[in-house]
Structure 1
Amino acid sequence: MTVLSPPRPRVARVATWIFFGLNGFAVGMWVVHIPSIERATAISHSTLGALLLVLGGAAFVGMQVAGPLADRLGHRRLVPAAGVLLGLALVGPGLAGSWWALGLSLLLVGFGNGALDVAMNSHAVVVERAYPRPIMAAFHAMWSIGGAIAAVVGAATLGAGVPAAVSLGCCGAFCVLASLVAGRFLIEAEPTPASADTDAAEPASTGAAPTRLVWLLGAVAFALMLAEGVANDWAALHLEDVLGTTTSTAAFGYGAFAVAMTVGRFATDRVAALVGPVAIVRYGSALAAVGLTAAALAPWVPLALVGWALFGLGLSGGVPQLFSAAGNLDTRASGALMAKVVGLGYVGLLAGPALIGGLTRWMPLNVAFAVPVVLCVFAVAFAPALTRADRSAG
């Protein structure tokens, strides 16, 4: 348990919203500029794919470094520092003129993004402990809002012919400034006297059982985020290749998924307060499995759109519950524990699109969707791990 002054958690909650929104905005601005940066550096699609793997690997390293640092240095130092690093790193891709310069830039972007991801999620758990109800899912919804704003801003700047160096430079400067301002309103976890007295007597999460529990939470996060990654890269292509729609109509596939996921994340906290995190993961994952199955088997576009929307709605609340559970296993090592779960989830997010792409060499795209459906069923089966996490934290 933690003791925090009443006004501070509300202010810290707003500051945490800002960091989640900034992270989504920064990542979104990089994504919308990928085609123009690819042309500016004169690299091939295969080279770009390799560089994106470099970015993903650097992000994973940043997550594992930031987790223990958050426990050691505190969130008020690490979260804004990671935000500043990501903002500064965003300038690099816009200035890159060769593949190696772009690769070095993406190393920094990936590391900063991974560090901020873990640091802000770890701080979100600290803020959530000060509230009488769950609030984690709304933070993740703000990430989605930031990405949507980036899509609009990026489309406007690209349409106006603004160079990528200028757009990304302004975005980076904004991230730096906002990180420095919002960082002043973050909070640290403070153990109550009772918990401090029992720290020495109860080594909360140093045993083998809690360690296995962390990896189990990470495995469920891997499954759900792999499914999310499949939707990000293959929803539109499914409508175009399997159902024969136009490119413009196919875009509604991902749109239905993304909108439903964002709305679901804003609603999840209220529902979780009533039914608990286990029900969110169990029934949400079941709904996601039904939705993706319906989309894969749908003979008509409207039914497929409904399926993708149900898929997004089902996935919307699960991952925030897993992150919150990991961060609460041991308040003294919240960042390090969360880094493991977030890192495994991120690996799934990266692996999903590539796995489906490989399977399409031997089977139709909609048949390959059986893999994320099975992983959603896996999440249904192991949702009770959240109950064990609550008992361990207690």
Structure 2
Amino acid sequence: MTTLQQAAPPRAARIATWLYFGLNGFAVGMWVVHIPSIEHAAGISHSTLGLLLLALGGAAFAGMQLAGPLVDRLGQRKLVPAAGILLGIALFGPGLATSWWSLGLALIVLGFGNGAIDVGMNAQAVVVERAYPRPIMAAFHAVWSIGGAIAALIGAATLRAGVPTQTTLSTAGVVCIVIALAAGRFLLEATEPPEEEAAEERTKPPAKLVWALGGLAFGLMLAEGVANDWAALQFRDILGTSVSTAAYAYGAFAVAMTIGRFLTDRVAAVVGPAAIVRWGAAIAAVGMTIVIVSPWVALGLVGWAIFGIGLAGGVPQLFTAAGNLDPRAAGALMARVVGLGYVGLLAGPALIGGLAHWMPLNIAFILPLVLCVLTFFGGSVLKSQK
């Protein structure tokens, strides 16, 4: 059984972890909202940008795989702040880029930093959650969403005011660095008592279970990626709405998912993680079915909202399960599960784009629907526990 080295009171560590999740969401949001202006400043085409985004994704995956073992070796109080500082520094790059190659280098650093802090902060969230008598993981992911929303509001305001992208991103980078430095001392470390180490080594988690958790994360995050990139386009192309109205489709999904994540922990304390994953996937499948068949905007918004609520709690439960399989290798195990989930997040929009060449967009959405149904049946790999 793992004990916690109380480097700080759990409440302080919980707030610090909230800050890192918010920092990560804020940094990603600031990058995303400035993509059009960065693309213009670098003088690149949409196709070149697409290739550079693949490089960003690949660097993020590499950062996850490297950060996982380092979390276990160096400790979270060292790696998580370092990753946050790297992410803050990386925000300077895209605003300074003036060519495809300089933007590519900037995005590789940004992706690597994002991947490293993703694994590190989730591993810290697992450690903090162990110090509480109830689930608290989903709320951390909700704070990530709030960080992204704050970035979208600030980014939209600065763009409207004509503030140079370089100035905005550099300022955001400084904010991230300050938060990363200030919050690091409140993080917790997980340690193994010497008398229990031998017993722990005899019970290593089965590889099949790790891959099963990763597969479930892949499916759920693929579905999330589809909503992120295609919800608005589905409204515009299938329901024939204006661009401004189409934006409400993603808004309904994102708001519902954020609210759902704040509520998930209380529900998980009652029904257990397996029920959250399985029945959440079932609810998401119902929402996606509504999206696919609905001929009306109002009903489509309901469908996207239900889809967001259904997907809200599953991924946090999977990350918690991965981090608790073996506390001595929590970072490495989480890197595999988080990494597979991230691959799904990137692959989903691309797969839907390919399918949309052969069939209507709403029919292509059968892919995330099927994955939600499979998750309902596969979610039983998590032992239901109160």
The alignment status of 1:382 with 2:378, answered yes or no, reads yes
Greater alpha carbon shift after TM alignment, 196-205 vs 257-266:
196-205
**SS of equivalent to 1:199:** helix
Answer whether contact 2:4 2:188 (CA < 8 A) is retained.
no
**SS of equivalent to 1:189:** strand
* Structure 2 counterpart of 1:350: 346
The alignment status of 1:156 with 2:157, answered yes or no, reads yes
Percent sequence identity is 70
Find the aligned partners of 2:108 and 2:4 in 1 and give their Cα distance: 39
TM superposition shift of 1:201? 3.3
TM superposition shift of 1:378? 1.0
The alignment status of 1:285 with 2:281, answered yes or no, reads yes
* Structure 1 counterpart of 2:94: 93
Answer whether contact 2:64 2:119 (CA < 8 A) is retained.
yes
* Structure 2 counterpart of 1:63: 64
Find the aligned partners of 2:162 and 2:295 in 1 and give their Cα distance: 41
The alignment status of 1:221 with 2:217, answered yes or no, reads yes
Q: Evaluate the alpha carbon distance shift between residue 60 and residue 205 of structure 1 in structure 2; reply closer, same or farther with a 3 A threshold.
A: farther
Answer whether contact 1:204 1:330 (CA < 8 A) is retained.
no
* Structure 1 counterpart of 2:290: 294
TM superposition shift of 1:197? 1.9
Answer whether contact 1:205 1:211 (CA < 8 A) is retained.
no
TM-score by structure 1 length?
0.96
Answer whether contact 1:84 1:180 (CA < 8 A) is retained.
yes
- Corresponding letter in the other structure for 1:201: A
**SS of equivalent to 1:347:** helix
Find the aligned partners of 1:221 and 1:202 in 2 and give their Cα distance: 26
TM superposition shift of 1:294? 0.5
Find the aligned partners of 2:296 and 2:156 in 1 and give their Cα distance: 30
* Structure 1 counterpart of 2:80: 79
What CA deviation, in whole Å up to 9, does each residue of 1:178-216 have, x standing for no partner? Answer: 10000111110133x4xx423213425536xx1110010
- Corresponding letter in the other structure for 1:316: A
**SS of equivalent to 2:133:** coil
**SS of equivalent to 1:94:** helix
TM superposition shift of 1:332? 0.3
**SS of equivalent to 1:184:** helix
Please give the residue correspondences for 1:228-267 in structure 2 after superposition, counting only pairs within 5 Å. 228-267=224-263
**SS of equivalent to 1:362:** coil
What CA deviation, in whole Å up to 9, does each residue of 1:36-62 have, x standing for no partner? Answer: 010001100000000000000000000
* Structure 2 counterpart of 1:203: 201
- Corresponding letter in the other structure for 1:250: A
Answer whether contact 2:8 2:188 (CA < 8 A) is retained.
no
Q: Evaluate the alpha carbon distance shift between residue 228 and residue 173 of structure 1 in structure 2; reply closer, same or farther with a 3 A threshold.
A: same
Please give the residue correspondences for 1:157-176 in structure 2 after superposition, counting only pairs within 5 Å. 157-176=158-177
TM superposition shift of 1:4? 4.9
Q: Evaluate the alpha carbon distance shift between residue 316 and residue 161 of structure 1 in structure 2; reply closer, same or farther with a 3 A threshold.
A: same
- Corresponding letter in the other structure for 1:200: A
* Structure 2 counterpart of 1:2: 3
* Structure 2 counterpart of 1:275: 271
Find the aligned partners of 2:324 and 2:363 in 1 and give their Cα distance: 38
Find the aligned partners of 2:84 and 2:304 in 1 and give their Cα distance: 33
**Gap runs ≥5 in structure 1:** none
Greater alpha carbon shift after TM alignment, 56-65 vs 239-248:
239-248
TM-score by structure 2 length?
0.98
**Number of aligned residues:** 384
TM superposition shift of 1:248? 0.8
What CA deviation, in whole Å up to 9, does each residue of 1:302-347 have, x standing for no partner? Answer: 0010000000000000000000000000010000000000000000
